[in-house]
Structure 1
């Protein structure tokens, strides 16, 4: 990411009700109407990823502002095309700034400079210019791509973190040196498999998710990685056959006298539809806590 310090002099202007501020690489904005705009680049930015082959399809594209859920036109005569990545409208400048302009951030002649209108979709949005290495998602089209529809199918899966279960429940105390069994209740949203289909006229995409592993951060500075949902505790069991943790110290002195436990599930999601396919990796997290005490041995003399 580009880190920049910006110095601007002179007065700015508004065009069509939009603050036509320019965006230097890395998100620093400066008004093209200013007479001076100085930028000091501390670290070069990384260009964005180009669109992948196979990202094509038919069907009516739905443009929704993620922060509000409001539906908006996918294109606007003045503002350009709705960007699914930042919920703003993007339009490539018909007359590109000279290569010496700081808006290029040293990238000229790669990519292009766009006018970016965010005020149209965000109450506190800022409008301006921005350099980008490629056209943003959704630029130049009103059709939904299979990859975009796959994101909708992923949302429908409603994947969650583990439904954390341990041999220690509620206010119970475990003991230093004794195994704590770790597992999750298995269901479509906690371990999988889970499938969902999203569709628009002329196109449907099905996404299927399966959990791959759970990483348990046990709060004592150590973690356990279990490539399974774990085994529920059964009466008489001592050592878990699949997933457990042994505490080497008590939780005394910890906040609330308990170790915080965080369990993160890694999900593998595959999707197919519209003649295309792809794969995604997502994570979901849950939290709990556990109290661990030390075994006290009482010796009596008769």
Structure 2
């Protein structure tokens, strides 16, 4: 038996309690790896009501490109609007529906933000079970809400994709084929390039609309694998002959790495990219993170005393 949640199409809600195939009735499309299926049910339109769909937005697109809603990880194309779940947000691959009515102003879910912004029901299908949505507060409607044409904010995310932003190109004074010592500073840095530090710019366009985005790393957070984190607001300084303490970014291990997986600490650098964009009479900003990792072995200096 397959428990599924069916799609309400044109005002009809259908719930399925057993496995269905296209041959059994209406067309069925199930999301791989989930227990959620869309069931297309044709029904007469309610007089005076015009449903919103990908092809029928109730307004002219003004020559803008028709919006396509795709789950990035799988490439699966979804309806940009669903009567039950709301509008698809291409930034996080989730549907958003404005809660009607809104929760009372003293509801703790507002997080003290009432009456600013609004509460939304979020439904995500490309997620690990148990993390697929819920209620959330937003200061403004999410990208893609209320429209089936491409918005400047969505073009900004396309521009970010074109930049191919990456995590730090890690430089470290103790490469994986060597061992460092407890108490000796380990220098941390990244090779500086448009994809690892910035600045980086790209433009995404559709007929009648272009958006240019510019990205720059503002900090790198180094998880040193020993329970400590180092936050550096710079790219770090490559090690130079005779250098002991880095003038910008380093870490001193207090314990050897023996007993860790492969007897080494895993070092992960997470770069925070600040992105600003403008185009189509709009502008905005967003933050993205990118990570990369390496390993470092740390030993203790052994002193041999002879008589």
TM-score normalized by the length of structure 2: 0.63
Picking from 241, 253, 273, the partner of 2:247 is 241
Offset of residue 17 of structure 1: 2.5
The total of aligned residue pairs comes to 232
Are the counterparts in 2 of residues 211 and 268 from structure 1 also a CA contact under 8 Å? Answer: yes
Over 3 Å counting, the alpha-carbon distance change for 1:61 and 1:11 in structure 2 is closer
1:276 maps onto 2:282 in alignment: yes
| Aligned: 1:61 with 2:66 | yes
- Residue matched to 2:101: 109
1:170 to 172, 176, 181: 176
Cα drift, residue 294 of structure 1: 0.5
Structure scoring higher RCO (CA < 8 A, sep ≥ 6) equals 1
Q: What's the CA shift string for 1:226-274, capped at 9, x where partnerless?
A: 1101001111111111100011111111111111111111111000101
1:229 corresponds in structure 2 to 235
Report the alpha carbon displacement of residue 108 of structure 1 after superposing the two structures with TM.
5.1
Q: TM-score under structure 1 normalisation?
A: 0.64
2:53 alignment partner in structure 1? none
CA contact (8 A) 1:58 1:203 kept: no
- The change in CA–CA distance for 1:81 and 1:199 in structure 2 (over 3 A counts) is farther
Deviations 1:134-161 (A, max 9, x none): 9875455342110111111111111111
Using the TM superposition, give the Cα deviation of residue 131 of structure 1 relative to its aligned residue in structure 2, in angstroms.
9.9
Root-mean-square deviation over aligned CA pairs: 4.3
Alignment partners' CA distance in 2, 1:248 and 1:63: 53
- In 2, distance between residues paired with 1:268 and 1:57? 31
SS for the counterpart of 2:247 is coil
Residues 57 and 144 of structure 1 are in contact (CA less than 8 Å); yes or no, is this contact kept in structure 2?
no
Q: Quick check: which one's strand share is greater? A: 1
In structure 2, the residue matched to 1:209 is 215
Equivalent of residue 158 in structure 2, options 152, 159, 172:
152
1:41-80 superposed matches below 5 A: 59-66=64-71, 67-69=73-75
Tell me, yes or no, if the aligned pair for 2:143 and 2:151 is still in contact at 8 Å.
no
Q: 1:298 deviation in Å? A: 1.9
Q: What is the distance in 2 between the residues matched to 1:225 and 1:171?
A: 25
Gaps of 5+ in 1: 1-9, 20-27, 30-55, 93-103, 123-129
